[in-house]
A and B are shown apart, each in its own frame.
Chain A
Amino acid sequence: MDAIILQILNGLDKGGAYALIALGLTLIFGTLGVVNFAHGALFMLGAFCAVTFAKLLTISERVRDESVTFFEAYKEVPYLEIWYGDTGRAIVEWAVPLSIIMAIPVMLLIGFAMERGLIRFFYKRSHAEQILVTFGLAIVLQEIVKHFFGANPIPLTAPSALAGSADIGQWFGMTNISYPMWRIIYFLFSLLVIAAVFAFLQLTTFGMVVRAGMADRETVGLLGINIGRKFTIVFGIAAVVAGLAGVMYTPILAPNYHLGMDFLVLSFVVVVVGGMGSLGGAVVAGFLLGILQSFASMTEVKAIVPGIDQIIIYLVAVVVLLVRPRGLMGRKGVMEA
């Protein structure tokens, strides 16, 4: 029982990341009709927003290290700490969650720029061409990041208050199940973002237009003037969602430049399993596949089916595509070919 709960927990944070990326992908596909292979790159850019923000906060001055008395030693002390003392130190420590403040506008701008500068010219072109051009863009983006940040992963840490393990078992009155705090935070965070996106789509007029567009792509053009601007905003939102997923993932997995490509393929699989253009499907499939993957990596399971952890997600995708091509929650008739 404990083992099962632990595996489910293990799957939740990864599932959260899948769900967030897939949510944006499916939103873009559903409204704009574009297959965006650069969406993984947006996740990666989000992660590097956190890296940049942490770097900015820790711009330091070299000062004499007073604690070392027998020779002249120096250490780097962030200006923030020098100027604001403990408050500054706390800000530096909370760099990852705080970088959300920076990531939202930055990712929004990146999303706008991508849509205006490239994607909008591909609305009328074939899916194959969309895949190819965004694939090219993804390579360009990751190479730019590599140029500035190098090829090695850059570890970031969670604030120490959230870095330890939580004894989850106790919360539910069970035996010891201790679990890294930050992963729970990530799961809750992803739920929050998902809820925010759904609330936005359900409660605003803008969201209503988007949902109508997803329900019937043919009528999107009839839903009022300036559909172009609505598309831009949708793309921006999707970029922010992917970016936030990336920001918060940094303490779990040190980001490197090809992080995006690693997550892209899996997220696409998630979208397909959930059903192209189905928001709920993307979320459900994201968590489902995350959990499945963590179960498959249990040693007991691997002993029965060797290598299953490596292929489980793809296997599920193949089966779903063959048996139910519209995905778990896709609507009948949408992309069923």
Chain B
Amino acid sequence: MTDAALAPPEARTLRSYVYDPKYRGIFFQVLALAIVVIFGWWIFHNTTENLARAGTASGFSFLNGRAGFDISTTLISYTNDSTYGRAIVVGFLNTLLVASLGIVTATIIGFLVGLGRLSRNWLIAKLCTVYVEIFRNIPVLLVIFFWYKGVLDTLPQVRDSIALPFSTFLNNRGLAFPKPIWGEGAVFVPIAFVLGIIAALAIAQWATKRQMATGQQFPIIWTGIGLVVGLPILAFLAAGAPLTFDPPIAGRFNMTGGARILPEFVALYLALSLYTASFIAEVIRAGIRGVAKGQTEASSALGLQPAMTTRLVVVPQALRIIIPPLTSQYLNLTKNSSLGVAVGFPELFSTTSTTLNQTGQAVEAIFIMLTVYLTISILTSLFMNWFNAKMALVER
């Protein structure tokens, strides 16, 4: 009886099952599953029951109703006659805009600061350390308010705008600048830009192959820049420079005409970029520090110059350490963009909340927000995982 495993199956007692790791494992897994299922069922049941009791309408048909409210920043055409669904899309695009610009800026600043902390120059290293320690230890909401109330709010009133060159005006309602109006034939410019990128990539591939085969080098970077910048300029000139400007003019209350960048957007964008950059800087520093010193020494011993050592030996290895935590920072930045509601930037959270309030469809509105944020995050993760796999050590 002491050793259940040796006993014949029909002779087993309840006690022997309790002490059998296999059955115990199954028991606890079934138990965990049961708890999850019961919990899920309870949430569903509770929600439907409460909805029925509250007497509110349910379903997603409210998305087709007229929104009736206006939104300050819209990337697609939107009026108060548009639907609630479109208002949510406007918010979604604003979220994407601030998140994608923020990610690019945060990465650039983070990279520079991360490298700066490793610099042998005492002043640069200390300045970068101070930057990281300040922004990493302040809540992001406070950083947003700092920019909104502390910096942008102190700009002059609209009637005392600071006039900058090229009919550009700066005041506490944002930056008003001439709005470019593209004429006929302007469509060739972005086409040329895309073609330039494709051509540059093709040449880079060809040059790498040739260098592998013959050892001959090719000025990839300069050719690439020439193609990406030069082709659109050529296309622009060839199309007869189809560009005019609509400058802002001081109206009775506001600048009229022109385009403007609102302070709500700037505050959110700068705060998210600077805040996340402090974390990215640490990720970069950790990645570079994570490459064994022997690697640098070995490449020097092989006669590689310091710049080539960094580019060919250190960075590729550091990237493997950097990419996974970098993904988390990108996801954080995207999710933190919902704090824009605090300064009145109409991102997804803001427009969906207004919709929620006007229609009372709380469960549906929250569900939409959850789904959208989850989808953005999963897509970002998938892309970064793909990038990580591409950068991972290829074993030979």
- Do A and B come together as binding partners? no
